[in-house]
Amino acid sequence: MTRAAGAGVLFLAGLMLASAANAQTAAPEPPVAYVVKPGDTLIGLASRYMNRPGDYRAVQKANRVAQPTRLRPGSQLNIDPNLLKSTPIAASLSAFTGPVTVETNGQRAPARVGMPLSEGQVISTGPGAFATFELEDASRVTLPSNTRVRISKLRQVMINNAPQRVFQLDQGKSTISATPTETPGARFEVRTPVSVSAVRGTEFRVGVNGDGAQTEVLKGAVGVDAGQVATGGPPVAAGFGVSASASGVGGPVELLPGPKMGPGGQTQNEAIVRFTVEPVPGAAAYRLLLARDAGFVDIFAEARTQTTTRERPTADFSQLENGTYFVRLTAIDPGGLEGFPSDYSFDRDLNTLEAGAPSDSREGKHRKFLFRWSAAGDGVRNYRFQLFSDAEAKVAVVDQPGLTEPQLTLTDLPPGSYSWRVAAVRFKDGAVTEKVGTLQQLQIGK
């Protein structure tokens, strides 16, 4: 991500597999802590910060306050958040690609850039789709394809100005960049059917993986707890990930380093955009993301490649217009934990040259051979055609430069074995480049 989140603590709680019924049960809301100031009374607090003036009675009972008009300054009140007034936190969809929908009260609508988002809405990405939304404090949530997330809470409690940001990840994976906050009582949570991740300024990923969940922390520290309450267990340092299943919580596993791109990846001019990845020891697979921006807000394609016996795994992308783009590489370990990213820019400048099979025809006593080729990409081209009397292209019998059309006809070639090729000289934006096609073989019988 482009913004570096400050060191924070990620508490991953509730990492025990629940039944289908229990997975749908809302987790209990933690109380909001309020430190009493001089002059505060429960009745006065209720009139300013609670939904109904009479709600002070519930706070009085929960905190065992003898007299609602007498509070000791410096003491703490624990208040049910459902009793408190709040204001909405602004959020909007900053980028998306492919079939992305936003569901509001059961009604789905196609996504659009700049669409405001609010509590209760569900963002879903289809196959090959991606979405990124941002909050008013510059926190960011990025969703890959086949992901569904619900905005459970997106509000700021008025009594202490603490933002409450809670998201339910039902399937898929999310990458989070949470802006640091020092406000007491602030919450930033990502819940899955088997986990709750609560953060205060960090960068991490949360994913639902079949019957479990995985969290990878890139910045900050992690406390892992079993159960439904984050109690702040022993911290797991940044650079580690944890997995959870019905059998419990696994120990921290060191994340793999970011892979290096193989040769040629930063200049892409062939019909297929192809990247090679330098192997990372211990990797079982690699993930590649393509984005239009260096911050990977506007992601538009992804690929996953398994390790093979080949020296360098490859990933292919097609139908990419000319321009400057960015690719992010990550290595995935055998347990499914995704490691640190490596980001590269690359230039897409389509410039292909392909030769077709020559055809022959007769006009009277003459036999004509039509050689054709095609080029793709921006710019103006002229061509050089070469025909050789040997397979190794050592002796040229025809060498014709300056052709403006992608074809040439030769008449009455003697029988024999030939080879031929075409070179294209391209003029674009004041630059001149040459591309030489592959050598083709031609056999002419008697």
- CATH, residue 424: 2.60.40.10
- Are residues 216 and 235 both part of a single domain? yes
Q: Report the alpha-carbon distance of residue 323 to residue 348 in Å, rounded.
A: 5
The amino acid at residue 241 is G
Answer yes or no: is 114 within a domain.
yes
Closest CA to 141 of 163, 161, 168, 120: 168
Q: Based on the fold, state whether residues 109 and 192 are members of the same structural domain.
A: yes
Question: By residue range, what is the domain housing residue 235?
Answer: 9-29+85-254
Domain harbouring 320, CATH code: 2.60.40.1220
In this prediction, residue 142 carries a pLDDT of: 97
Low-confidence spans in the chain with pLDDT less than 50: 1-25, 227-230
Rg for the chain, CA atoms, rounded? 31
What's the pLDDT score for residue 227? Answer: 46
67 assigned to some structural domain: yes
Beta bridge partners of 435: 424
**Residue 4 counted as domain residue:** no
Counted domains in the chain: 4
Dihedral sign computed on CA atoms, order 238, 241, 245, 249:
negative
Identify which of 404, 401, 367 has the alpha carbon closest to the alpha carbon of residue 387.
Answer: 401
pLDDT of residue 307: 74
Domain CATH for 65: 3.10.350.10
The answer to whether 275 and 327 are in contact (CB under 8 A) is yes
Identify whether residues 343 and 437 lie together within a single domain.
Answer: no
Measure Cα distances from 349 to 125, 404, 406 in Å: 29, 21, 20
Q: How high is the pLDDT of residue 234?
A: 63
pTM for the whole structure: 0.83
Q: Are 156 and 162 in contact (CB under 8 A)?
A: yes
Residue type, 445: G
On whether both 274 and 250 belong to a single domain, the answer is no
Query: Do 217 and 323 sit in the same domain of this protein?
Result: no
Same domain? For 179 and 108 the reply is yes
Residue 174: the pLDDT is 92
For residue 244, the one-letter residue type is A
How high is the pLDDT of residue 402? 95
pLDDT digits (tens, 9 = 90+) for 8-59: 333 333 333 333 334 344 556 788 999 999 999 999 999 999 999 999 999 9
Q: Are residues 317 and 221 in the same domain?
A: no
